[in-house]
Amino acid sequence: MNIGSNTPFRRVTLIAAIRAARYLRPQHGNVLFLTGKLCVKYGSLVQLSEAFALQFVAAHTSIPVPKVHCAFVQDGCTYILMDRIKGDMLVRGWASRTDESKANIFGQLRKMVDEMRKLPAPGHCISNVVGGSLYDSRFAGTSSTIGPFDTIRDFHLFLRNGMKEPPENYPEVGDLMRLQDQPWPMPVFTHADLSSFNILVRGDDVVGIIDWETAGWYPIYWEYTMACLEANPMNMWWKEEADHYLEPMQREVEMEALRLKYFGRFPWFQ
């Protein structure tokens, strides 16, 4: 899969533009707004797979995402040049919206999630959109990059640190393993971080979904459980809205809560 026009000239020009603009143009995190129409996401933690995900979503759905013009890695730094979507983060002004406005936005988000869920999985693999490693800073005890995994079972085994037999005197771990080891549907395409920071709106219209670095093929519950259990600390209130745009999966939330309890950031079992 090609990523835009990655000519040597464009690479040199983009890096020069960043050096000239980074102290003059507005920047949000690792995104530098070069002009009113273009921005570049760059840095050592930026994932090239995000550019592939953006292209994939643009080609196969009607979900509004930034158009990628080029993307490449040079000297350990990833660069993604893309269109700038004019809109406000949904978090801004949410509390002052009417119930009708919120319902309108939730309806659009449900349709977008449904489009993602209808994309046929390329197989049983848990991976990014091109079959490679998954990135998420919320993966405990890792370098934030894991996989890919041949099956959901392999993914679950990794998440519980390779444990194959439940330990004595820890019945909850046995419950977790039974839930994880049950048959699962095929993986579904997942954004994995649909926070109100990553949803852009103009008025009541959702005009952009951004930050696809965590996207990939995951178990069907992943979007919901991450929204409920691993919300951005600055966005904790948004988890209370998850049922309005995602299919509720309470049993899976309980399963993931057990995993995070025993194998999360402060694991009981290594």
* Structural domain includes residue 23: yes
- Digit-coded pLDDT (tens) for 158-176: 999 999 999 999 999 999 9
What tokens were used for 200? 């852009």
- Better-predicted residue by pLDDT, 9 or 98: 98
Domain extent, residue 152, equals: 89-263
Alpha helices by DSSP H, listed for the chain, are: 8-21, 48-60, 99-117, 152-159, 171-180, 222-229, 242-245, 250-263
**DSSP for 195-214, written as a single string:** -TTSEEEETTEEEEE---TT
Instruction: Note the pLDDT of residue 102.
Output: 98
Q: Are residues 235 and 140 in the same domain?
A: yes
Q: What CATH number corresponds to the domain at position 227?
A: 3.90.1200
Q: Are residues 23 and 116 in the same domain?
A: no
- The total domain count for the chain is 2
148: cis peptide before it, omega within 30°? yes
- Look at residue 2 and tell me whether its pLDDT is greater than 80: no
Instruction: Note the pLDDT of residue 150.
Output: 98
Q: How confident is the model at residue 7 (pLDDT cuts 50, 70, 90)?
A: confident
Q: How confident is the model at residue 143 (pLDDT cuts 50, 70, 90)?
A: confident
Q: Are residues 61 and 160 in the same domain?
A: no
Q: How far is CA 40 from CA 6, 81, 154, 211, in A?
A: 14, 4, 35, 12
How many other C-beta atoms are found inside a 10 Å radius of the C-beta of residue 34? 20
Q: Which of 59, 83, 107 is the last residue of a domain?
A: 83
Instruction: Note the pLDDT of residue 233.
Output: 83
Q: Which of 31, 48, 83 is the last residue of a domain?
A: 83
Instruction: Note the pLDDT of residue 264.
Output: 86
CA–CA distance, 207 with 144 (Å, rounded to integer)? 29
- Digit-coded pLDDT (tens) for 30-63: 999 999 999 999 999 999 999 999 999 999 999 9
Q: Are residues 191 and 224 in the same domain?
A: yes
- Digit-coded pLDDT (tens) for 92-105: 999 999 999 999 99
Q: Are residues 142 and 259 in the same domain?
A: yes
Q: Are residues 138 and 250 in the same domain?
A: yes
Q: How confident is the model at residue 12 (pLDDT cuts 50, 70, 90)?
A: very high
- Digit-coded pLDDT (tens) for 188-230: 999 999 999 999 999 999 999 999 999 999 999 999 999 999 9
Model pTM score: 0.94
Instruction: Please compute the mean of the pLDDT values over residues 95-123 and round it to a whole number.
Output: 98
